[in-house]
Amino acid sequence: MRNSTNFARQERIFNPATVSAWPLHIIGCGSAGSAAAQVLIKLGLGPEIHLWDPQKLEDVNVPVQLPYRTKDCGEYKV
């Protein structure tokens, strides 16, 4: 089983330790924002990622916005 906290392969492309501006903010958690958040987390970015979106999830959002499920409809995206 692979160690999920080993980001050595990703660090060849992007090393989060070299980023000097924290926290990172993502404005909007729709199609692009939710996908960007997942990719940045998988790359090992941190220590802080702030997500901002005042909208509630609708059923039309579920197929195109990755982290959401039908049972999340009516809840805020963040």
Q: What spatial distance separates the first Cα and last Cα of the chain, rounded to whole Å?
A: 32
Q: Output the CA torsion 6→16→51→61 (10° steps).
A: -60
Average pLDDT, the chain: 82
By three-state DSSP, how is residue 38 classified?
helix
- Report whether 73 contacts 57 (CB < 8 A): yes
pTM of the model as a whole: 0.67
pLDDT at 64: 86
Q: Strands of the chain (E only): list them.
A: 24-27, 49-52
- Give the pLDDT confidence of 9-46 residue by residue, as tens digits: 767 776 666 766 678 899 999 889 988 988 888 877 76
pLDDT band at 58 (very low <50, low <70, confident <90, very high): very high
